[in-house]
Amino acid sequence: MTKLPSKVINLLITVIVLTAVILYLYFIKFQGNITGFFRIGSILELSPFLNPETTKIYQGEIGYDGQQFLSLALDPFLQNSETINTLDHPIYRYRRILYPLISYLFSFGNRTLIPYIMVAINCLSIIGIVWIISLYFQSNQEQKWQPLLTLCIPGVWIVLSLGTADLVSSLLLIVSFHCYRYNKPILTAFTISLACLTRETLLLIWLAILFTSIIQQKKEQSKQLLWAWIPPFLWTIYISALNLSGTVRVKANFGYPFMGIYNKFISLFMGEFKGENLFEAYLFILIFIIFITIFAISAFHRKDNQLIQFSALLYGAMFVMSSMTILSYYLDYSRVFIDIYFFLLLSINTNKVPIKSILFLALGLGSFAFLALHF
C-alpha cells in the first residue's frame, strides 16, 4: 500500500479540522446565518445591499472590520452612493481592495453569494497556507509536520470568524517567501505586490525582501522587486483622486515607541482578576515571547532565516510604535500581527529543543479557548 506524502496528510487533516470549525461556527455560533461571520454591529450604517431582517446584527456594537470588507465586496466599484456611508474611514478601507474585489468577481456579482464566497476564500487561504508551508519545508524532513501548527494560531480562527482580509494577505506573504527561497523572482514580486493591495502594511515585507535580496546579491530578484510597489502605489493615487472622506488612521494606530505597550501592561495589571483579563494577558505575553524567540532563532541560524529576521525587525518596529487602538484587545493585535506567528513557523531551527512546538501548543490552547468561549 502506497504511503501518502506528509504534505497530503497535512492537507487532509487541515480540511477535516477546518470543516468541523466551519460547521460549528455556522450552525451553532451563528444559527445558520452566513452574515454572522462578519460581526456586523448596529452603530454603523448597514450596506444598502443587505436586508436588516435577515442579517445577524450585534446590537450596541460598532462591529469589526469584516463588516467593512463585506460592504466593499457588495459594491467594490462604489456604484451606490450609500456604500460610502457604511464605511467608517472610506479612504482607509478602500486601500485594501483585493479581498472584497476577488470576492465580488468570484461570485460573478451575485450579491447573495458574496458572503459565502468570502468565507470560502478565507477557508481556501488556510488550506493554501498549510500547503505552501509544506512545500517550504519539503527539503527538511524534520519539519514536515510543522505546517499543521498553522491550526494552533488564534489569529487564523479570529480572522475566519470575523471575515477580514488577513488570511488572504498572509497566504500571499507566505507564497512570496516560498518563491524567494526557491528563486522565482517574478512570482515573488507579483505575490508581494498583490499582498500590498490586500494590506498596505505589507510594504514592510516588500522592503524586507528587497533588503535581503540586495544583501544576498540576488540581482534578478532585486530588479523584479523594483516594479512590485507600482500597483499599490497607483491604486493609492487613484483613491486620492476620488477624494474619499476619512483618514488613513496612521496617527490613531501608531504613536511614540513603547507608549502603547506601556499602557497595555498598565491596563493588564490594573484590570480585575478574572478570566477575560487573564486570557488577554496570556495572548499578549505570548506574542512578546514569540518576537523574542524569532530573534533568538535568527541569531543562531542567520543564514537560513535572514528574510525572516528582516521581516520580524520591521514588524517589531511597527509593534513597539502601536497605540492602544491596536493593542487594547486581542481580536485586534492577533489579526494585525498574525504574520509574526507565521514568521516563527517558517523559521529554520536545527536545535533539538522543540521550542516552536511548545509555543504553538500554548497558542493552540488560546485558539481552543477563543472558539469555545468567544461570541
Q: How far apart are the first and last CA of the chain?
A: 45
Model-level pTM?
Answer: 0.95
CA pair distance 37, 33, nearest whole angstrom: 8
- Identify the DSSP state of 45: P
Instruction: Please state, as a whole number, how many other Cβ atoms lie within 10 Å of the Cβ of residue 90.
Output: 22
CB 205 within 8 A of CB 171: no
pLDDT per 10-residue tile (average), the chain, 375 residues: 79 96 95 95 92 93 90 95 89 93 96 97 98 88 84 97 97 97 96 96 96 95 94 93 80 88 90 80 95 93 91 96 92 95 92 86 96 81
Q: Quickly count: other Cβ atoms within 10 Å of residue 110's Cβ.
A: 11
Residue whose grid cell is 494606530: 253
Question: How confident is the model at residue 7, as a pLDDT?
Answer: 86
Please count the CA atoms within 13 angstroms of the CA of 155 that sit on its side-chain side.
27
Of 174, 163, 84, 96, the residue nearest 128 (C-alpha):
174
Q: How far apart are CA 122 and CA 160, in angstroms?
A: 6
Look at the block and give the residue holding cell 478570566: 275
Instruction: Say which amino acid occupies 208.
Output: A
